[in-house]
Amino acid sequence: MTGDDFDWLSTSTLGEAACVTMVKTTDVDAVVRDFGGVTSEARTVPFAATGNDLDQAYTVAVCRQGEYVVAIETNGFQGTRPEVLRRVSQLGETVSAFWNIEALTRFSYAVDGRIKTAFEAGADSWKDGEDPDCLTPLAADIDWAASHWRTGLLLLAARLTGQPFTEDWLDGDALVAPIAEHLEDVHPVTPGFEPLEYQHPVLAAALRRADNEPLLTVAHAAVDEVLASAGLTEVPDSGTEFDELVRMARYEAGYAPDADRLRLLALDAVRTLRTAPNPLTAAFKTIYAAILAKQLDRHDPAPLLAGFLDLLGNPPAPSGADGARAGTGGPLQRHAWITEHWLGLAASITYARSTPLDTVAAAFGGIEFGAGPVSLTDTEQVALRREDDWTIAIAFNRSPFAHQIVEALRPHTTVLNVGWETRGNKLAYFAQPGHDVVVIRPGQGAVPAPLASYTTSLPAPAGNATPWLLALGEAVTGITFTPEGLDAQHTLLRLG
């Protein structure tokens, strides 16, 4: 058996995007249920007709093939989800092959409710699961060239099951059911990627520094707020019945644009509180649900957020160095502190040479309202100070329109802007009077000529590129951006 045995796929209805899952069982109905199929709406039709069945609903088509029950999704992906694989593999050994039109792929192997390995197509792809390399011998001599990814996935499935997916599998009948997706696991929060960190950074910082008990207190208060907004006075006990209630409510909402979104939000918030892997995750995600509920109910969430901060003891917002100290050694080591500092979440730093502070402030269009150290706030602010021959402007929480700032300042002076978001772009703009603005993305593409002389002394960006951007600032200006400098008095501007 070789990849050539699956060449028929290129002209098949599954050629562009599909997920084929094989479960070693004889129980077709159980596979439908474990895929999230709504069995009350299932019906048997020729596979060729499944694309137009059930009013174009997202469906799974299931049929018996030898020792296996095969679940086929046209342009679907349920067979890649851990929540599904755990269920169906309790029925029997399970393999799944997925591909789509954007060249995304996934091969999964699960046994006894546990995912043994899952990986993208390719000889050197990263693998996860309980035994990531368990299929390496079977996959070793498969042609994983990009043009053969789909056939390679099906060849590996055939070697594992002893039962190759043949074109005639698509000639018979299949039990087709619409999908009501199984609920996704509640995953731990990922630092730097949570919406709350960018929309309400002061509260997010307070949550990250709180102990478990106040975190749970806030999470319970958030759920109470969502329930009140939805008008729900009680919800079913936790467990399978509650999860099924949430799942079917989501499914029904897919056919009812005017469905009660507040009720769905409340049910999801209760489930999050009950199943979150830790108190920090429970607090982050239930607070975000409470904010959405207030917005859906057309109320300002600000008093709600103030109440959560009160439950946490109203801790002061992070300010200045916040205990960080500059490193020693090379340029990346000197600036490595930024990766753990509160400013490392999202910031934009502008350096303008021999330029009055008022000129830089005017480029931002902000309103001066005081002086002090750089501090985290929920409002867009810029802090300015003079250092040597440069004016430094530090914008935090949300980065300003850096390109426009550089354009406004370059007729007057040499200007550099470095900016970053943990979940977004990391880049630098540089301009000199009479010259165009150039852009550099650390580690991506050639260095623009005006910056080349400054980057020759810098090591290649490694991992988090933010220290490299600060090192670039040092190379251009001669100024080491230190956490202690954030404690200095700055002129503070409020934007917006």
Residues 338 and 425 in one domain: yes
* Residues in Cβ contact with 220 at an 8 Å cutoff, skipping those fewer than 6 apart: 273
Task: Clarify whether residues 433 and 299 are in a common domain.
Answer: no
Verify that 297 and 336 share a domain, yes or no. Answer: no
Tell me which of 151, 178, 205 is where a domain ends: 178
Element containing residue 212 per DSSP (H, E): helix 212-230
User: Contact, 414 vs 434, CB < 8 A?
Assistant: no
The reply to whether 165 and 99 lie within a common domain is yes
Q: What is the CA radius of gyration of the chain?
A: 28
| DSSP E strands, 153-277 | 173-178
Tell me, yes or no, whether 148 lies in a domain. Answer: yes
Q: Which residues pair with 429 in a beta bridge?
A: 417, 439
Q: Work out the burial of residue 377: count CB atoms within 10 Å of its CB; fewer than 13 is exposed, 13-18 middle, 19 or more buried.
A: middle
Domain extent, residue 132, equals 3-178
Is there a single domain that holds both residue 303 and residue 335? no
- Residue 320 domain-assigned? no
- What pLDDT is recorded for position 55? 47
Could you give the number of structural domains in the chain?
3
User: pLDDT tens, 130-142?
Assistant: 999 999 999 988 9
- pLDDT tens digits for range 441-467: 998 888 999 999 999 989 988 778 999
Q: Give dist(CA 146, CA 218) in Å, integer.
A: 49
pLDDT (tens digit, 9 = 90+) per residue, 144-159? 888 889 999 999 999 9
Q: Quick one: 173 and 271 in the same domain?
A: no
Residue 324 lies in a domain: no
What's residue 54's pLDDT?
47
Q: Among residues 144, 178, 212, which one ends one of the domains?
A: 178
Pair 44, 97 in one domain: yes
pLDDT at 211 exceeding the cut of 50: yes
Contact (Cβ atoms closer than 8 angstroms) between residue 426 and residue 443: no
Dist. CA 385–CA 397, nearest whole Å: 18
Nearest to 279 by CA among 321, 246, 234, 311: 311
Are 149 and 290 within one domain? Answer: no
State the pLDDT at residue 57.
Answer: 63
In a domain, 183, yes or no: no
SS3 state of residue 317: coil
- Mean pLDDT score, 293-305: 93
- The answer, yes or no, to whether residue 405 has pLDDT greater than 80, is yes
pLDDT of residue 163: 93
Q: Is the dihedral of CA 196, 201, 203, 204 positive or negative?
A: positive
Pair 217, 83 in one domain? no
Same domain, 168 and 254: no
In this predicted structure, the answer to whether residue 325 has a pLDDT above a threshold of 80 is: yes
- Beta carbons within 10 angstroms of residue 43's beta carbon: 10
Query: Within this chain, do residues 275 and 338 fall inside the same structural domain, yes or no?
Result: no
Residues 23 and 166 in one domain: yes
At 157-206, the pLDDT tens digits run: 999 999 999 999 999 899 999 999 999 999 999 988 999 999 999 999 99
pLDDT-based confidence at residue 376 (cuts at 50, 70, 90): very high
Q: What angle do CA 376, 197, 219 make, to 5 degrees?
A: 115
pTM for the predicted model, two decimal places? 0.85
Looking at the DSSP bridge assignments, the partners of residue 352 are: 391, 415
Share of the chain above pLDDT 90, in %: 76
Non-local CB neighbours of 69 within 8 Å, separated by 6+ positions: 22, 23, 25, 26, 27, 28, 31, 62, 63, 91
What's the pLDDT score for residue 336?
A: 95
